[in-house]
Structure 1
Amino acid sequence: MYPSKSFRLLFLDFKEVSGIKRKMADQGLKYSQLHYREMEKLRQFRRDIIKVIPVVLLSLPPFANYMVFVLMYFFPRQLLIRHFWTLEQQKEFMEIYHSLRAQVYPNAVKNLIKAVSKVPDKRLKNQLLQLGTKVQEGIHPEISQLYLVAKLFSGRPLEIRYVNARQMKILSQVMFLTPHLPTFIMRRRLRSHIMEIHHLDQALNILGVQNLSEDELRIACYVRGLNSVQLNAAECKEWLTKWVQLSKKLKDSEASLLLHSMVLLSTNYHNSRKSK
């Protein structure tokens, strides 16, 4: 993409985000009270800014900006934000990032099954064990199966406050967060980011999945753990509709289930589509 067009898109995003921030300040609104597209715009822009800050800092010393430009040319995925990617690069980089997080999906399911052994409720314990085992065997779970065990994710050992450090590192990678932080910081970031998605889901339920554009559908699925690059609009809509159906029924205290569902509802989805 031409740099001038990229900077123009970035500037337009900045203006839009500034307008949303003014609206929040003037009306005393919280993030969770915004419309879906406003919430999503803030989420995306914040991640873009976080990514670009190190590049800006690297370019501050005299003449360092020339080296930074060279590095950006050779490493666009690592150093540039989406405004400066071509459409082909956007698809390519999304697939690369997803392949990296998908590598930890099996371990996330494995650790979940291990943690279930500490659940005192035998009936719910068996239901969750069966669900996890089916995912390991390549079977895509139904939303109803996940909701049946939602209660288990609001207390020990599956609620975010009690998830062990190893699983937190894995789930951080699932959410594209660094796993190389102290445990208490990882725990706080995981809760913050999954609650953000939960609030987005509530706003999306009001807007209606059917009112999203194809690009919006694809991004929404991708953010929630699914590789949506090769899916068509109907497939994205089907998956996202079921996700929102689950999310809108969950309490804030059950957000850990939503976090684990990024793995459970994505691991075998493509295979389930092929088998139909």
Structure 2
Amino acid sequence: MRALAMQRMAMGFLAHQQGTLTSVILTSTKVPHTCRSFSSGMTKSDDDNGPRKELSPYQQLQKWLQPFVQGSRAMYHENKQAWHVRAKLKQHQQTATTGVSAVLTRQEMMILRQAHRDLLKALPLLAFFCVPLVGYAAPVIGYAFPKQLLPWQFWRPDQKTQFFSEDAQAKAAHYPELRKLLLQMDRKQHNVEEMLARNGHEGLNPAEVGELVPFFDRNGPAFLDTLPRHHLHVLSQSIALMPAFSWLVRLFPKNMVQQYLERRADELRVDDLMLLREGIDGLSLSELEFACEERGIVTGYGNIDALRGALREWLSMYDTDHVDAAAPQCFPSSLLLHAPALGRFSNAQIDTK
């Protein structure tokens, strides 16, 4: 309730400071869908192919402020929906015996995961916006640093593609070191080395990744709880939610890093199950970009067919012909987290030299 109250307070100050201008924008703007389907951030005039009229200073200011107003509204509705999902989940847990993934859709699960993260990311700038007079500089700061200071609701479609691609590339920069660490562990059995050599060191076919389960399970050398501290740090940076700040993981104790990695693996595991159950054909471009960025897939951003193919290859790690929601196929957490560095998605090559 406190987070929702803070969001409503920020929206109140936003409407108060923008005055008549904000009222005009709000009344003329359609509320974007916030179930992690990513609003387009485009107005009708952005799609017109005809000649464009020169905008007056007032219209230019209105157009410039529109993403901030839309983003604030979208974030408010996302948190509002999150409260409804939590209430639904609480009611289900009191009566049902099935798991969470059986009662929630993937969009509801994404809202439950992302709403508080989006709010926390935007909260400093929203709080600064509430400061009289100097708060008017908040949109300027947000406009200059949207990736660092604003959640996805405030991004334009081209910015989403750019930012997701940049984050995926930042994660992929740690793949060569991660693969070298695995090869050092594989000096006795040479399973990983032989499989990589068989594929020309370009990465494994995703369908082959499951063959490495013994190497990553409880009795294997790459079990998550037995990985050395440096390996855990590199692994955390390769799947970080915010790669720009992933270096902070080095400041935390080893057990906290392990818990963080377990949570990330659980999130990917549940999302994979839901994608297998619901399919990926109905996902929008931005939803596909978000899903691929989370999994560290570095290819195809901006191309919906390429992203869908890459995500389908990721899901081919599972036995897609026999998907059982009651007893889903479950990979070891360590294997799931290392999969982006081991697999080859849509012929994306990773240098290991």
1:93 is aligned to 2:93: no
Shift of 1:214: 3.6
Match of 1:255 among 333, 340, 345: 333
Distance in 1 separating the partners of 2:197 and 2:207: 16
Match of 1:147 among 187, 210, 222: 210
Which structure features the higher share of helix residues?
Answer: 1
1:113-124 maps to which residues of 2 (within 5 A)?
A: 113-117=183-187
Distance in 1 separating the partners of 2:333 and 2:164: 25
Aligned residues of 2:216 and 2:335 also touching (Cα < 8 A): yes
Q: TM-score, normalised on structure 1?
A: 0.82
Q: TM-score, normalised on structure 2?
A: 0.65
Aligned residues of 2:168 and 2:298 also touching (Cα < 8 A): yes
Shift of 1:111: 0.9
Letter in 2 for 1:264: L
Aligned length: 265
Instruction: Report what 1:241 is aligned to.
Output: 312
Alignment partner of 1:270: what SS?
coil
Distance 1:206 1:267, change over 3 A: closer
Distance in 1 separating the partners of 2:302 and 2:257: 31
Instruction: Report what 1:17 is aligned to.
Output: 82
Instruction: Report what 1:122 is aligned to.
Output: none
Shift of 1:65: 4.2
Distance in 1 separating the partners of 2:229 and 2:198: 25
Structure 1 residues not aligned, in runs of 5+ = 120-124
Shift of 1:12: 2.2
Larger radius of gyration: 2
Distance 1:157 1:271, change over 3 A: closer
Letter in 1 for 2:217: S
Aligned residues of 1:153 and 1:254 also touching (Cα < 8 A): yes
Distance in 2 separating the partners of 1:173 and 1:134: 28
Aligned residues of 2:288 and 2:304 also touching (Cα < 8 A): yes
Aligned residues of 1:108 and 1:171 also touching (Cα < 8 A): yes
Instruction: Report what 1:105 is aligned to.
Output: 175
Query: Structure 1 residues 234-243 or 56-65, which shifts more?
Result: 56-65
Structure 2 residues not aligned, in runs of 5+ = 1-40, 42-65, 321-327
1:71-220 maps to which residues of 2 (within 5 A)?
A: 71-117=141-187, 125-133=189-197, 138-155=201-218, 156-177=220-241, 178=246, 179-180=249-250, 181-220=252-291
Query: Structure 1 residues 80-89 or 221-230, which shifts more?
Result: 221-230
Distance 1:153 1:236, change over 3 A: same
Alignment partner of 2:306: what SS?
helix
Letter in 2 for 1:9: A
For residues 166-187 of structure 1, give each alpha carbon's deviation from its aligned partner in whole angstroms, at most 9, with x where no partner exists.
Answer: 1211111122253232211111
> Equivalent pairs: percent with the same residue?
23
Match of 1:48 among 79, 98, 118: 118
Shift of 1:256: 1.1
Instruction: Report what 2:8 is aligned to.
Output: none
RMSD: 3.0
